């Protein structure tokens, strides 16, 4: 009798253990918070332009692959690269021109790009008056707040002007003295005739009666690997699986944006922009979609990188081109 009870007890224990294992296996597709690996991500700006990244964060795509994103705002590509180099961030998100500056500066453990997120300039030209049929000729003899010298918005503006036969150094006064975060307030305060702004700032100026969106620099500047993810070469080599999973999450964010309506994308990222209404978010997503701002994938092509360096050379921020293979991460 005692043996029977013991056998029954053993069988019961085995059954309970098996159930626990099975439950844990089925119910634990997403890793527990303690198992997530933190990636400190420094972003150049907080803009709806980067919707696929925010989708990946808000929809849990990073968590699905075991990553917890710790997002911080660095306000400028130079500050993003400085944060990564100083060890204050693991991954930087900014224009890839930052990696070229670091490479040419002689940094041994330099920055390499491993994925892109946007393929057009995300800024819009805002005028004080509603100019019908605006062309870049309307900027001749005028002042436009263009952002930091050597930054992608300012260099793309110079490229577009040059392409239109306008000398950006002589025919237009591009004000590069205003900090990126202060461009809207400077324009409202009376500085400049035009300003180049990302969303939601451009729409906010329109709604508050301070200006009118008259053109998209994205349409004028052409396809370029505008904003991308980069990290130190050593970090990339030491975290190959992590980087692979990071890219998978970003790709899912890109896919969601392309396969969803403007409103669905806006709903997915609304918690990232608590001061912007759903209607306004939807309008802005539509505005960026209309200029084909987001690529189909995260791949960074040599042709696009070459165009980026053409833009930098035109702005006299680069003397000679850097080899594509040196600054692109390949597993």
Mean pLDDT score, 109-129? 95
pLDDT at 76: 85
**CA-based nearest residue to 50, from 281, 301, 308:** 281
* Segment holding 262, helix H or strand E: helix 262-269
* Domain boundaries, given as residue ranges, for the chain: 33-120+224-327, 124-221
Q: Which two tokens stand for residue 173?
A: 């006064």
Which distant-in-sequence residues (6+ apart) come within 8 Å of 98 by Cβ? Answer: 77, 78, 80, 81, 92, 111, 230
The CATH classification number of 33-120+224-327 equals 3.40.190.10
Mean pLDDT of the chain, nearest integer: 89
Is-contact 191 145, C-beta < 8 A?
yes
30-51 pLDDT, tens digit per residue, is 444 458 999 999 999 999 999 9
193-234 pLDDT, tens digit per residue, is 999 999 999 999 999 999 999 999 988 888 888 899 999 999
The whole-angstrom separation of Cα 198 and Cα 169 is: 23
* Whether the domain at 33-120+224-327 and the domain at 124-221 fall into the same CATH topology: yes
The CATH classification number of 124-221 equals 3.40.190.10
Count of other CB atoms within 10 angstroms of residue 23 = 10
28 secondary structure, DSSP code: -
Which distant-in-sequence residues (6+ apart) come within 8 Å of 210 by Cβ? Answer: 128, 187, 188
- Which pLDDT band holds residue 244 (cuts at 50, 70, 90)? very high
* Residue 288 pLDDT > 60: yes
pLDDT at 14: 43
**C-alpha 294, offset from chain centre:** 10
9-22 pLDDT, tens digit per residue, is 444 434 443 444 34
């Amino acid at each position: 009798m005692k043996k029977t009870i013991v056998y029954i007890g053993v069988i019961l224990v085995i059954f309970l253990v098996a159930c626990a294992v099975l439950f844990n296996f089925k119910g634990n597709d997403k890793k527990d918070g303690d198992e997530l690996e933190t990636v400190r991500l420094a972003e150049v700006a907080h803009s709806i332009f980067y919707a696929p990244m925010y989708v990946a964060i808000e929809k849990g795509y990073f968590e699905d692959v075991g990553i917890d994103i710790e997002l911080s705002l660095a306000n400028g590509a130079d500050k993003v690269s400085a944060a990564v180099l100083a060890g204050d961030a693991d991954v930087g998100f900014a224009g890839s021109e930052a990696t070229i500056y670091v490479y040419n500066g002689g940094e041994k453990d330099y920055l390499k790009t491993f994925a892109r997120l946007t393929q057009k300039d995300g800024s819009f030209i805002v005028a004080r008056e509603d100019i019908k049929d605006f062309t870049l000729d309307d900027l001749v003899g005028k002042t436009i707040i263009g952002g930091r010298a050597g930054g992608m918005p300012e260099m793309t503006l110079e490229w577009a002007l040059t392409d239109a036969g306008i000398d950006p150094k002589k025919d237009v006064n591009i004000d590069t003295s205003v900090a990126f975060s202060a461009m809207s307030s400077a324009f409202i305060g009376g500085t400049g005739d035009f300003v180049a702004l990302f969303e939601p700032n451009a729409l906010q100026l329109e709604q508050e009666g301070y200006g009118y969106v008259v053109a998209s620099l994205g349409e004028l500047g052409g396809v370029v690997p505008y904003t991308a993810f980069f990290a130190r070469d050593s970090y990339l080599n030491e975290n190959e699986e992590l980087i692979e999973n990071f890219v998978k999450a970003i790709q899912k964010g890109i896919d969601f944006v392309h396969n969803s309506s403007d409103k669905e994308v806006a709903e997915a990222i609304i918690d990232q922009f608590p001061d912007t209404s759903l209607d306004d978010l939807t309008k802005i997503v539509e505005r960026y979609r209309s200029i084909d701002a987001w690529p189909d994938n995260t791949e960074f092509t040599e042709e696009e990188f070459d165009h980026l360096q053409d833009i930098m050379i035109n702005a006299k921020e680069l003397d000679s081109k850097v080899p594509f293979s040196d600054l692109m991460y390949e597993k």
